[in-house]
Each structure stands twice: as structure tokens, then as C-alpha cells.
Amino acid sequence: MTTVVETDTFVTALRAQGLRYHDRHPFHRAMNEGGLSPGQIRGWVANRFYYQVNLPRKDAGILANCPEREVRRRWIQRILDHDGRAGAEGGIETWLRLAEGVGLTRAEVLDERHVVPGARFAVDAYLTFTRTRPWVEAVASSLTELFAPGLMAERLAAFERHYPWIDREALAYFRARLTQAPRDSEHALEVVTEYCRTPDEQAAAVAALSFKCDVLWSMLDAIEAAYAGR
């Protein structure tokens, strides 16, 4: 008989990965404490765009591999949130507005001239993971959003407090994620707890989330090294 691990224990193990979330990274802490220069802020925004622009591709990969219609019907909202639709701009567009708000041009962000190799490698590894691993593991990797709402609120307040040179209208992406991230993480957690029932499945889900934490941390490592002193 297949052993089933208690859901509460599983969820606790997933949430414990928050101790490895990138809000604890020195670069991120410096950003929220007002310790970054305009050049460092611009470097973060330009490199993070490479992550943002690939999120719809990541979610399309999950949809392509997912056999469950009800999961697909809800998951597709993530693509619309980032790509937008007629009459409603999405997260990619609002991130480009953030880039303009910190002094970058759309052209230099879109052509990825500022993306450092380490950040590109981390994002590409994440894309490969979500396309090649079992779909529910890819869903589990998205659960960094469990930790995102508090981070997003803190980031928004920090930008408004410490970086007055940034146009407040350019922070629209962060405001939108205050409601989108809790909705998305709730759904992903429902899916993972429903479809990961055995110890092996649950261990793989926790490992997937740990890997995603590594991706985000590695991105900041690369950005911090590239923009030190700028």
C-alpha cells in the first residue's frame, strides 16, 4: 500500500523553504534599506526583466505538460497577467514602465544588453526545469509566491521611502502583485497538495521549490557581483 504523508507536514516543509528565499540576500536587503545606487537599481531592473519576460514561457511549458483541464483553465491566467491582453497591460509592460522610471530605455531593456551571464544562466535553467520535469514539480517550483506578498509590500514601501527619484507611477507592477501573488500561490498550493500524495512526490515538490529559491538567489549573486561599486 502506498504511504501518504499528512498534508500539514508537507505544507510545513514547503513553507520552511522561505528561510532560503531571496529576500534574505545581502543585495536585496540593501535595496530595501535604501543602500543601492541608481546604477545598481537600474542593473537589478534590467536583469530582472529577463526573468519577468520568461515567466509566460515558463507557464506555457507547465500548461503543455499538464493533463488536468481544471488546472490548465486556472493556470492560464498567469500568462494573461504577464503578457496582458487587448485593453489591459500586463506585468511585462508594467516592468518596462518601471525600467523607464529608473532611467533605462525600453530598447536597452528589450535587447537584453545589460543581462549578465549568471542571471541569464539561472533563468534559462529554471525554464529548462519547468519544461522537462513532471508538471506538478514545475507547479511546486512556483511556490516562491508563498513568500512574495510580504516581500512585495516591503519592496513597494522601500522604493517609495528610499528612492524618491523613481516615478511613483512606475511602481505599478509591485502594486498589482500584492493581489496576484496570494491568488496564484493559493492555487499552486492546492494543486501540489492534491497531486503530491506519496513521500517521494512530496520530497520532489520540496526539492523543486528549493531549486527555485536557488535560481532567485543565484540571480542576485550575479547582479551584485556585476554592479558592485556602480
Q: How many domains does the chain have?
A: 1
Using DSSP, state whether 25 is helix, strand or coil: coil
Measure the CA–CA gap between 15 and 193, rounded to whole angstroms.
13
68: in domain: yes
* Of 2-6, 17-21, 121-125, 213-217, minimum mean pLDDT range: 2-6
On whether residue 2 sits in a domain, the answer given is: no
Q: What is the pTM of this model?
A: 0.93
pLDDT of residue 87: 80
Q: What is the pLDDT of residue 5?
A: 54
Is residue 29's pLDDT more than 80?
yes
Mean pLDDT of the residues in the chain: 94
Quote the pLDDT of residue 151: 84
- Is 1 contained in some domain? no
32: closest CA among 143, 145, 160? 160
Give domain status of residue 71, yes or no: yes
Q: What is the mean pLDDT of residues 101-115?
A: 97
Residue 121 pLDDT > 50, yes or no? yes
Amino acid at 43: G
Contact 115, 50 (CB under 8 A): yes
131 in any annotated domain: yes
What's residue 149's pLDDT? 75
pLDDT in tens, 150-205: 888 899 999 999 999 999 999 999 999 889 989 999 999 999 999 999 999 999 99
Percent of the chain with pLDDT over 90: 86
Task: Tell whether 51 is covered by a domain.
Answer: yes
> Considering the domain boundaries, does residue 185 fall inside one?
yes
Report the CATH number that the domain containing residue 153 is assigned in CATH: 1.20.910.10
Dihedral sign (CA 64, 65, 67, 71): negative
* Domain extent at residue 136: 7-226
State residue 34's pLDDT score: 96
pLDDT of residue 152: 86
- pLDDT given for residue 4 in this prediction: 47
Residue 162 falls inside a structural domain = yes
